[in-house]
Amino acid sequence: MRTDIQSLTDHPSSWGQLLMVGIPGPRVDAVARELVRDLKVGGVILFARNIESPEQVWELTRDLQREAQAATGRPLLLAVDQEGGRVQRLKTPFTIIPAARELGITRTPEEVEQLARQVANELALVGLNVNLAPVLDVPRSPACPQWDRAYSSEAQIAANYAVAAIRGYLSGGVLPVAKHFPGLGDTVVDSHEILPLAQSGDPERAVDLLPFRQAIAAGVPMVMTAHLAVPEWEARPATLSPVALQVWLRQRLGFDGVIITDDLEMGGITSSLSAPQGAQEALAAGADLLLICNNWQAAWETARLLALDASLAPRGREAAARLNALRQTLRPESAELPAVRQYFAR
């Protein structure tokens, strides 16, 4: 059964295209095959458990794309968190990236652009087409959990570096993701554990939104939401908030690309909702791509829940159309294996 923007039905596989999921291991096993072939997910995210070597990652992405082409005729979004510092899944012999905080001190934006292009070239070489980076947060102090992951505590400097990184990733053939909207810089708790509250008190969030405004102007194709409550907007986390996603990100900032959620299994969501319930609310609020990183059964439960909610059909079609357009921009083939071996044997 072909499922696309013309055929969102009450069958779960019709809604799988709105999901990006994690898979269990470094090969296409029965679970991964089921997610790609049967659920027809739109994307897969890789973690350390999926990575052994450049050759193995190349084989994994090749096999995932073959499964996707057989199932839907469209390529997958294949993503990884390759920010730098403590958040980089691909280790040596891939380029090791200093933390953004260090880059903001020791490198120029031009040097960061060049580094991002090199990183993107390596990701593309092994078949990855999305980097969940850069971080656009503007941390106010070291108490912020994003301190070392952010380029600067000065909004304009952070924006300069983020835009440079975005240019580098795009020129290297990989889709960058600006995160975490609307900015985690004025928080002091980790959204992996609980829901943070924005502390600035500024309803305009001028400091936090400046890097996003400039990233959008620079053509960033994807923005990731934050599990963050902005009391001046509304009580719900931004990931689940029409005010954050539709009023601010779409209307006021003019973003027309793909909105991807942060992992819906994080404590900032699951402290009050299950991941499938969070996905349902996120889609209704304006998100396009729903991220579930670990529990593949939750991915199926999410698709079933979305398929049962008739009120989501217009939003689902809108999200599917946006994702389909993005997937059509992807390179159809990665490099040949000898080229991968030659590059990483340097």
Q: What is the pLDDT along the chain (346 residues), one digit of tens a residue?
A: 344 444 566 777 889 999 999 999 999 999 999 999 999 999 999 999 999 999 999 999 999 999 999 999 999 999 999 999 999 999 999 999 999 999 999 999 999 999 999 999 999 999 999 999 999 999 999 999 999 999 999 999 999 999 999 999 999 999 999 999 999 999 999 999 999 999 999 999 999 999 999 999 999 999 999 999 999 999 999 999 999 999 999 999 999 999 999 999 999 999 999 999 999 999 999 999 999 999 999 999 999 999 999 999 999 999 999 999 999 999 767 789 999 999 999 8
Give me the active site residues, please: 192, 262
Q: What is the pTM of this model?
A: 0.96
48-60+76-290+318-344 CATH? 3.20.20.300
Residue 105 contacts residue 73 (beta carbons within 8 Å): no
Look at residue 3 in the predicted model and tell me its pLDDT. Answer: 41
Look at residue 6 in the predicted model and tell me its pLDDT. Answer: 41
- Write down the domain spans for the chain: 48-60+76-290+318-344
Look at residue 13 in the predicted model and tell me its pLDDT. Answer: 81
